[in-house]
Structure 1
Amino acid sequence: MRSPGQAREPKGASVTTGQQWDIVTSVGLTALGVAAARALESHREDRLMSDPFAAAFVKAADAPAPMPTSPQEVAQLPEDSTWAQARMEDYIGVRSRCFDDFFAAAGEAGVRQVVILASGLDARAHRLDWAAGTTAYEIDQPKVLEFKQTVLDGLGAAPECAHRPVPIDLREDWSAALAEAGFDTEAPTAWLAEGLLPYLPPEAEQQLLTTIDRLSAFGSRLAVEDFNDIRRLFEDEDLADFGQEWGLDMRDLLHSDDRPEAPDVLRGLGWKTEVEGAEAKAASYGRDLSGMFGEMADASRFVEARKPA
């Protein structure tokens, strides 16, 4: 996080160096903001998903700026706050529902091993109805997972499946840590990369996808949040202003470098892919994506891939 007057770091410096972060710094702070959006979505009568833990995560953190978790708290924000205009919960509600549905379909197809990469503060292991025999592995920064587990323990929350946190930075040898936690390379796996790829430089994204392929048995599935033209987000001053309320410049965290498109990479590895734009997905749920995050929705797409036998 930059102090006033401090020079801007190179784009993506926060996630390409050896720096670690907790839940109120760097990428960890964005996970807290997403939790606030899930809490707001959970209050809607037309909610697409429900997260009973999201507000508790936000309340337990010492965030540098207010993050509302209810409509009443939104109404109490200063007039110049961008939270009310952003309607971040619209997009996050659609994204969360999309990937919740992905896991439900994987379970119905008999997949009983789940890996959530950079899981952040979405406690899916605790809030979803999992098929009997499911084991969910969550990979994220040690401090992020420690914070999440402390809050869940305080709430007396129990997971709905076998839950195995894997506290490691994705820039390290996370596949070895996953194996040590009990991951079975012979079992089909449902993988999720949500809110992750834009924070990775091109070479790290390529390595992530090839590692997933190497670890995946036939019948595995992968869901990815991808962006087909992330450059446009760097031109959105409203998005930049939104991040500044948290003390972040999102353009310092996201990578706009040219890179092969994720669906093409997966097809090249032999996976069958389906791609749906966020706006089309929202329309299928009866949700209109507008407001400040409309530009993000226009660039966002959800990729689902399967590794055939």
Structure 2
Amino acid sequence: MRAGEPSRTAYGAAMHRAMHQQLEGGRVFRDPLAWRILGTDYDEVVASGRYVDRKPLRIMIAVRHRFGEDRLAGAIERGTRQVVILGAGLDTFAYRNPFPDVACYEVDFPATGAWKQQQLAAAGIVEPSTLHRVGVDFEADDDLLARLVESGFDTGRPAFFLWLGVVPYLTPEAVRQTLRTIADISGSEVVFDYTNPADQLSEGGRLARERFSARVGRAGEPMVATFDTAELHDLLGRLGFNQIVDLDRDVIRTRFLGLPSDGESGGAHVLSAVVR
């Protein structure tokens, strides 16, 4: 993040969600507000020459939202009535939320939150009464829970934490601290995505990672945290999480895309875990 500026990777992720609606017809994840919140249209993006040819990244972003909102629906069915969207960016769930008794807390860097409000106002998207905005810098502000409580969050009730497109840009310690905070709220669930270290990738995977890392690094948001899958699962267990569901590249191919297994599991993952 650059001081005083909204997240550029948040904009890129939102653009890929919107492009998925156009290029794949929202087959993996449907978001009827994806284009409106951006304030642009498909023809403008095509004319810019960007985003169209990045299908693997676009599909991964669609999959992580589909998986996250599927898990969220299950948590709400079980009685959860608090949703915390960490690093909300231009996420639109709070404005599509079909559950009138579910409170949504959007947590983000203050500059990104202010930019989002401008985008919403320009698009004429109404902010629901169930929405609460929480300004937090994950690296500098280690009291996420206090910021949430100030906004009305109830620590005595379970919550669902949706944390997408954020972990790779934080330091490992910031990731661990946020997980510790979530682990203190009994019965809660978190969904987040992460990446394996480069030495665990295929040659093609390493080249793709290098290109993407260079691109986001130029935008001022370098990739920082990577996790070995077994070590991450061990960390989650020690913090008090269980019921871990971890989708790797191969599972994503077979479960969401209907493609045959190619046996290549390393790279990007999306994971859910429940607090005991």
Q: Does 1:99 align with 2:68?
A: yes
The answer on 1:112 being equivalent to 2:81 is yes
1:103-136 deviations in Å (ceiling 9; x for gaps): 111111110011111111112101242x331111
Alignment partner of 1:274 is 2:245 = yes
CA offsets, 1:30-57, max 9 Å, x none? Answer: 1111111000111233522222333344
Tell me, in whole angstroms, the C-alpha distance in 2 between the residues paired with 1:298 and 1:91: 14
Q: After superposition, what is the alpha-carbon deviation per residue over 1:49-71, rounded to whole angstroms, capped at 9, x for unaligned? A: 222333344447xxxxxxxx53x
- After superposition, give the CA deviation of every residue in 1:135-180 in whole Å (9 maximum; x if it has no partner): 1111101111111122212333235671101012122132211110
Correspondence for 1:31: 10
The answer to which structure, 1 or 2, has the higher relative contact order (CA under 8 A, 6+ apart) is 1
Mean Cα displacement is larger for which, 194-203 or 139-148? Answer: 194-203
Pick aligned residue for 2:121 from 128, 153, 158: 153
- CA drift at 1:298: 4.1
Kept in 2: contact 1:270–1:307 (CA 8 A): yes
The equivalent of 2:232 in structure 1 is 262
8 Å CA contact retained: 2:182, 2:188: no
Aligned length: 266
Counterpart AA for 1:120: G
**How far apart, CA to CA, are the structure 2 residues paired with 1:242 and 1:206?**
24
Q: Which amino acid is 1:49 matched to?
A: F
Q: How does 1:148-187 map to 2 (within 5 A)?
A: 148-159=116-127, 162-171=130-139, 172=141, 173-187=143-157
Deviation at 1:86, TM superposition (A): 1.8
What SS class does the counterpart of residue 84 from structure 1 fall into?
Answer: coil
Aligned CA RMSD, in angstroms, stands at 3.1
- TM-score normalized by the length of structure 2: 0.82
- Which residue in 2 is equivalent to 1:284? 255
Q: Answer whether contact 1:117 1:139 (CA < 8 A) is retained.
A: yes
> SS state of the match for residue 104, structure 1?
helix
Gaps of 5+ in 1: 1-13, 61-68, 290-294
1:136–1:278 Cα change, 3 Å: farther
Paired residue type of 2:252: K
**1:89 to 2:53 alignment:** no
- Compared CA separation, residues 107 and 251, structure 1 to 2 (3 A): closer
* Secondary structure at the counterpart of residue 22 of structure 1: coil
* Native 8 Å contact 1:22 1:141 kept in 2: no
Cα gap change, 1:133 to 1:231, in 2 (>3 Å): farther
2: CA distance, partners of 1:251 / 1:184: 32
CA distance in 2 between counterparts of 1:244 and 1:257 reads: 19
Aligned to 1:63: none
1:47 aligns with 2:27: yes
1:192 and 1:245, CA in 2 relative to 1: closer, same or farther beyond 3 A?
closer
Give 3-state SS (helix, strand or coil) of 2:137's partner.
coil
User: Residues of 1 paired with 2:208 and 2:275: CA distance?
Assistant: 39
